[in-house]
Amino acid sequence: MGRRVLIVSPHFPPFNAPDHQRVRMSLPYFQTFGWEPWILTVEPDAIAGAKDPFLLKTVPDTIPITRTKALPIELTRRVGLGNIGWRCLPYFVQEGDRLVAEQSFDLVYFSTTVFLTMGLAARWRRRFGVPYVLDFQDPWFSDYYQQAKTAQRPGGQLKYRFAQTIAKTLEPKAMRDVSQVISVSPAYPETLKQRYPWLNADQFTSCPRWQVQFRCS
């Protein structure tokens, strides 16, 4: 039996989104390298957007998939929180706690631009002792717009500031005990090493073409 990895990706087939492609395309190769993946994701009907049923044909039938509910977007939009991260978070906490407690995973791997779910990494490390990998397809906490001194910010000024406040709070906690950080750009690890001096160079892997060798301790 290979080592077991829980892959956290709120977006997953048949929902069609750019940030699950790294996971989807890598799944057939996990067992080749001695890993048995298990997917934690959101039910496709809970996510607004394009769906492509043919994407499911590229996912091996042998891989277990746990799909959670999400809070209704009509409800959360009333308070300005339509993001799937907020909507799925209570269900990811519940199902993630159960899975990590029952399935004895050797690793939890987060690969998503729904960064709010990466905040669960520290929770599961603290409660269950399982190591984790964070795959940054984009920066999480960023001061780009402050440095650029531009008023154009994703979601508008208020939502952007709120999102960055959450990121500034959760990212340091997630980075405290991370085993490995993956990024698509070799420049981003330099930013993270400056921001979190306890991280070492060998904790970073840059893989613009998904060439990853997991290293966890």
pLDDT of residue 114: 94
26-38 pLDDT, tens digit each: 998 898 899 999 9
pLDDT of residue 9: 97
Burial of 163 (0-12, 13-18, 19+ CB in 10 A): buried
Query: For residue 152, is pLDDT > 90?
Result: no
Q: Residue 138's closest CA among 88, 89, 180, 188?
A: 188
39-76 pLDDT, tens digit each: 999 999 998 888 999 999 999 999 999 999 998 887 76
Q: How confident is the model at residue 79 (pLDDT cuts 50, 70, 90)?
A: low
pLDDT of residue 31: 84
Query: For residue 217, is pLDDT > 80?
Result: no
Phi-psi region of 100 (alpha: psi -120 to 50; beta: other; left: phi over 0): alpha
Q: How far is CA 97 from CA 122, 179, 189, 217, in A?
A: 12, 20, 29, 21
Q: How confident is the model at residue 153 (pLDDT cuts 50, 70, 90)?
A: low
Percentage with pLDDT > 70 across the chain: 86
Q: What average pLDDT does the chain have? A: 86
pLDDT of residue 10: 96
pLDDT of residue 165: 86
Bridge partners of 67? 41
CATH topology of domain 3-206: Rossmann fold (3.40.50)
Query: For residue 86, is pLDDT > 70?
Result: yes
Q: Map out the domains of the chain as residue ranges.
A: 3-206
The pTM score is 0.87
Query: For residue 93, is pLDDT > 70?
Result: yes
Query: For residue 162, is pLDDT > 80?
Result: no
